[in-house]
């Protein structure tokens, strides 16, 4: 079987049976209960027109301690502006990354949020901080083939950081993606799980010269076809060399990929999921 055929099979995942969603154990703080100084600083944060201005105004909240954490969670939960929710969550991640209230929010709300960015940031954060309580939700997200691709790949990255080998197939799929951000998720996860990524082989760099700002990747209107083909060839060569290394140096991990019965079932489930979407 060719490498390309093998690689295509690595993406075959479907949604698992539903499980009960985690329930918060902490009380939700209302805006009305915030101290006056925190309320004022929060209003200034919300009224900023640009994320850079919000970043500056967020500095006023930093020395206000616990009430400021509660205030930013109120913004994340209630703001109508998606950008404002994003910036409030970013403030929390930067200033109180391991706070119990942030952890509780992410585990019970953030990981399943309907807000694309809130869910993405939460999926990334729980793996970065090794919050094993997120494992089941991460597995659901990774296996949800009908959901957002980014969410599936970030969930795999975080599972890898938790040492979950079931993420390996999805990580390899992500690492071979034509877009930068999925390659980033995939290679970060491979490094965390196996100690190496595609960057460690064949002189390859998964950045591939991409220009990315805020997750958005700039693309050339008329790229040189030979350069594109050369880049893709380098990517797949690195993947082949990585897989050969994995087979030799980490045979137990490679067995996760070479389980033919598992692969056959995933093909059947993938086809059923695609048919259901039509």
**What contacts 17, CB < 8 A, 6 or more positions away?**
none
Tokens of 257: 């990929």
- Asked if residue 64 has pLDDT above 90, the reply is yes
Q: What is the pLDDT of residues 171-212, one digit of tens each?
A: 999 999 999 999 999 999 999 999 999 999 999 999 998 887
Name the band, by pLDDT with cuts 50, 70 and 90, for residue 15: very low
Q: Where are the beta strands (DSSP E) in the chain?
A: 211-213, 216-218
Q: What is the pLDDT of residues 20-53, one digit of tens each?
A: 566 665 666 777 788 999 999 999 999 998 888 9
Q: State the Cα–Cα distance between residues 165 and 71, nearest whole angstrom.
A: 38
The single residue listed with the structure tokens 């939960």 is 77
What is the helix (H) or strand (E) element at residue 27, kind and residue range? none
CB 184 within 8 A of CB 206: yes
CB 154 within 8 A of CB 161: no
What residues are paired with 217 via a beta bridge? Answer: 212
- Asked if residue 213 has pLDDT above 90, the reply is no
More confident of the two residues 122 and 277: 122
- From residue 207, alpha-carbon distances to 17, 44, 167, 176, 177 in Å are 36, 38, 21, 11, 11
Q: State the Cα–Cα distance between residues 28 and 105, nearest whole angstrom.
A: 10
**CB atoms < 10 A from the CB of 146, how many?**
11
- From residue 200, alpha-carbon distances to 6, 225, 270 in Å are 21, 26, 31
Tokens of 238: 């690195």
Q: What is the pLDDT of residues 230-265, one digit of tens each?
A: 999 999 999 999 999 999 999 999 998 887 655 556
More confident of the two residues 189 and 8: 189
CB 158 within 8 A of CB 123: yes
- Asked if residue 6 has pLDDT above 70, the reply is no
Confidence at residue 258, expressed as pLDDT on a 0 to 100 scale? 80
Mean pLDDT over residues 267-277, rounded?
A: 65
Confidence at residue 46, expressed as pLDDT on a 0 to 100 scale? 94
Mean pLDDT over residues 108-128, rounded?
A: 97
DSSP reduced 3-state for 208: coil
Tokens of 124: 């990334």
């Amino acid at each position: 079987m060719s490498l390309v055929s093998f690689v295509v099979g690595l993406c075959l995942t479907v949604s698992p049976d539903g499980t009960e969603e985690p329930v918060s154990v902490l009380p939700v703080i209302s805006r009305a209960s915030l101290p006056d100084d925190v309320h004022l600083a929060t209003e200034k944060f919300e009224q900023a027109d640009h994320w850079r201005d919000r970043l500056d105004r967020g500095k006023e909240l930093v020395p206000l301690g616990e009430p400021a954490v509660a205030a930013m969670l109120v913004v994340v939960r209630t703001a109508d502006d998606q950008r404002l929710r994003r910036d409030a969550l970013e403030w929390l991640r930067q200033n109180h990354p391991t706070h119990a209230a942030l952890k509780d929010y992410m585990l019970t709300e953030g990981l399943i949020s309907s807000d694309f960015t809130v869910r993405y940031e939460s999926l990334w954060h729980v793996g970065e901080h090794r919050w094993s309580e997120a494992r089941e939700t991460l597995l659901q997200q990774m296996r949800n083939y009908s959901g957002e691709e980014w969410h599936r790949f970030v969930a795999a990255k975080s599972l890898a950081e938790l040492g979950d080998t079931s993420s390996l197939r999805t990580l390899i799929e992500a690492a071979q993606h034509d877009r930068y951000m999925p390659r980033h998720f995939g290679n970060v996860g491979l490094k965390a799980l196996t100690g190496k990524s595609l960057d460690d082989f064949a002189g390859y760099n998964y950045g591939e010269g991409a220009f990315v700002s805020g997750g958005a990747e700039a693309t050339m209107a008329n790229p040189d076809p030979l350069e594109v083909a050369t880049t893709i060839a380098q990517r797949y060569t690195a993947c082949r060399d990585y897989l050969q290394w994995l087979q030799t140096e980490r045979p137990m991990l490679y067995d996760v990929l070479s389980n033919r019965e598992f692969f056959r079932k995933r093909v059947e489930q993938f086809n059923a999921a695609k048919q259901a979407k039509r």
